[in-house]
Amino acid sequence: MRKTNKLTTLSVKRMSKPGLFGDGDGLYLQVAAGGTKAWILRYMRAGRARKMGLGPFPILSLVEARQKAFEGRRSLLRGIDPIDARNAARTEAVAQAAKAFTFAECGKAYIAAHRSGWRNEKHREQWSNTLVRYAFPVIGILSVAAVDTALVLKVLEPIWNSKPETASRLRGRIEAILDWAKARGYRDGENPARWRGHLDKLLPAKGKVSTVQHHKAIPYRELPSFMARLRSRAEISAQALEFTILTAARTGETLGAVPHEFDLDRRIWTIPAGRMKASREHRVPLCDRAIEIIGLQKHNYKFAFPGAKLDASLSNMAMLEMLRGMVGIGLTVHGFRSAFMDWGHEVTNYPKEMMDIALAHTVSDKVEAAYRRGDMFDKRRQLMADWQRYCFSKVDV
């Protein structure tokens, strides 16, 4: 009587009674109550009985089932459990499929995951724009697992010397995306976009390929005559620019200001942390003219300096265009903060620490930051009053 190959293709087709029907050497046909049939390999492993599904009949024929059972038994002879081997193969297949994610797909996923934590829409747009313009055309369609140093350099080198600031930011964004992909299991190994100990050996430092371009500032001695001209203009952009100068604020801080941030009785403008570059609340003592400018605005608008629509702020370019119309191309709105600092150093005895607080500068020195816990607010009232007095002085000094 045969101990193997007990079944035939005809007998397998005809079987309808539920149960297990052996073919020999651990191969069985399992017939379910509903009539479906499947192949099973039964074996002992470390004293434990195991069953391994091989596939359904008739998709898997009797001949094919015998071949699969043979391969399973051969694995056992090599000391390998066929079920464990199959599970490992499936896991590897899933991992390889995950690594098939393209760099562009990972970049978009990274932006989607982090955009809510970025402070403003301009920052979000810059993230997308630099990737779309410079990285995606080169490595966007490639598997994120395939991105290596040569490919990163292929993205960066064409703009490293001509656009060092953009290139440096792009490098950091590529590095962040690749770190994210590794944490997700989409790639392995070191990050080819890291700077320290890697790309710093292949590319010149940003500071060596370009001179830092500071925001061009009006000389503080010319400020009184400029302010006299500015004050004569009636446009809301002129009022916003004057307010920005008098408060030493950044453009975005002024444009994003909403009425409830102002306590005109206490003469305070409180800018919430979410709108500040350093993510810390900033209090600004308001001088007389700053309070007057806020009082001139229509408070039924969402923003203190509204644009054309009720729910929109003044354009991000409005003050710069106003400035260009008055003095031509060259000066920047941000440059007035430099003029404020120069005036403070050259004309007054106010300490640098107070000037830095007025400008909401981040303190990089940890020791200094530990001691600077207050915001010198009462003393800064006098500082801003003196700044207004100088801005509106009759004669340039």
Asked if 85 contacts 77 with a C-beta cutoff of 8 angstroms, the reply is: no
User: In this model, does residue 375 exceed pLDDT 50?
Assistant: yes
User: In this model, does residue 25 exceed pLDDT 90?
Assistant: no
What's the mean pLDDT in 79-89? 84
Task: Encode pLDDT of 194-222 as tens digits.
Answer: 999 999 999 988 766 654 445 577 888 99
For the chain, the structural domain boundaries read: 9-89, 103-209, 220-391
Superfamily grouping for domain 9-89: Integrase, DNA-binding domain (3.30.160.390)
Closest CA to 52 of 31, 30, 35, 33: 30
Which of the pair, 99 or 374, is modelled with greater confidence?
374
pTM of this structure: 0.51
Task: Encode pLDDT of 114-161 as tens digits.
Answer: 887 776 666 778 888 899 999 999 999 998 988 999 999 999 999 998
Domain 103-209, classified CATH 3.40.50.12780, yes or no: no
Residue-averaged pLDDT of the chain: 85
Joined together, the tokens standing for residue 272 give 């919430």
| 271: phi then psi, degrees, rounded to nearest 5 | -95, 120
Which of the pair, 183 or 88, is modelled with greater confidence?
183
Torsion of CA 133, 314, 119, 293, to 10 degrees: 150
Distance CA 95, CA 181 (A): 12
The residues, any chain, with a CB within 8 Å of residue 97's CB and separated by 6 or more, are none
Tell me, what's the pLDDT at 212? 46
What's the mean pLDDT in 255-278? 90
User: In this model, does residue 302 exceed pLDDT 60?
Assistant: yes
The residues, any chain, with a CB within 8 Å of residue 253's CB and separated by 6 or more, are 271, 275, 276, 282
What's the mean pLDDT in 55-72? 89
Distance CA 255, CA 373 (A): 28
Task: Encode pLDDT of 305-330 as tens digits.
Answer: 888 777 788 887 888 888 888 887 77
- Indicate the fold that domain 220-391 takes in CATH: hpI Integrase; Chain A (1.10.443)
Tell me, what's the pLDDT at 23? 87
Distance CA 86, CA 102 (A): 27
Tell me, what's the pLDDT at 119? 67
Lowest mean pLDDT across 58-67, 88-97, 235-244, 279-288: 88-97
Tell me, what's the pLDDT at 242? 94
Tell me, what's the pLDDT at 397? 43
Q: Which DSSP state fits 135?
A: I
E strands, 68-154, where?
none
User: In this model, does residue 112 exceed pLDDT 60?
Assistant: yes
Task: Encode pLDDT of 328-374 as tens digits.
Answer: 777 888 889 999 999 998 888 999 889 999 998 876 555 444 445 56
Band of residue 178 on the pLDDT scale cut at 50, 70, 90: very high
Tell me, what's the pLDDT at 220? 87
Q: Which DSSP state fits 374?
A: S
Lowest mean pLDDT across 5-19, 32-46, 212-226: 212-226
Tell me, what's the pLDDT at 298? 67
Tell me, what's the pLDDT at 126? 83
Tell me, what's the pLDDT at 241? 93
